[in-house]
Amino acid sequence: MLRFEGVTFCYPGDELGMVEDLSFQVEDCEFVAIIGASGCGKSTVFRLINGLERPDRGKILVDEKPIETIKNYSAFMPQKDLLFPWRSVEKNVCLPMELAKVSPAEQEKRAAQVLKQVGLADYAKKYPKDLSGGMKQRVAFARTLLSGADMLLLDEPFSALDYLTRVEMQEWLLEQWAHYHKTILFITHDVEEAIFLAKRIYIIQDARPFTQMESIEVPLGYPRNREALKQGEIVELKESLIGKLRRSVSL
């Protein structure tokens, strides 16, 4: 689905590069988490994937095609929901379809379908002020889905939520992934969240510029429940990942 080939990138005016000769890949319909210390370059990887930044060297391919030659291959969901307060829930999720010039009737039909799937059909005419934090994130996710992209880039979407809501949203996200069969890349600082959600975890440990992301398979199948996090093998994995992150901070 996604492949980096020898990608090097440095922000203009920055003496220290961010990425150098980076290669990795993500399979179709895979759920991948990316973890690393603050400022290590996780969000830069997303900016490179969605074309907001261009590599100085190397290639980024989606379905073996250079991303410069294709459109609407990825959709981005940031930490904040970024809902427009003056637009209803329905109108917020319709935004990507409006930009794509989808007919109003089709917009209404698709919005109704996705809002039903995310459990917010009864809130279509409500406004963001009427929603809880978790509900706002579900609306933001629905809007991301309606972009039509097969690859979703989720940048710490649950970090601002309280613990119980975050746990519920993690379980809900896995249900949506199983239903829609999207490829998901998920940035998080939460090691337990990465383990619970992802099939594979990429960890950034190098000091800038980083040249590789270590790939770690999570030894859990799907569907998952939180009891699985208590297994000895998973507890050891969590401690190992925390140790790797601590070492990267000290570099």
Where residue 251 falls among pLDDT bands split at 50, 70, 90?
Answer: low
pLDDT at res. 56 = 93
pLDDT at res. 79 = 81
> For 93-98, what is the mean pLDDT?
91
> For 60-64, what is the mean pLDDT?
94
Where residue 219 falls among pLDDT bands split at 50, 70, 90?
Answer: very high
Question: Which domains does the chain carry?
Answer: 2-73+151-249 (3.40.50.300), 83-148 (no CATH)
pLDDT tens-digit readout, 5-31: 999 999 988 878 889 999 999 999 999
CB count in 10 Å sphere of residue 19: 26
pLDDT at residue 248 tops 70: no
pLDDT at res. 220 = 94
pLDDT at residue 126 tops 90: yes
d(CA 32, CA 200): 5
d(CA 141, CA 158): 11
pTM for this structure? 0.89
pLDDT at residue 174 tops 60: yes
pLDDT at res. 93 = 93
pLDDT tens-digit readout, 177-189: 999 899 999 999 8
∠ CA(207), CA(78), CA(113), 5° rounding?
Answer: 145
d(CA 156, CA 160): 8
Strand partners, 66: 61
Q: What percent of the chain has pLDDT over 90?
A: 61
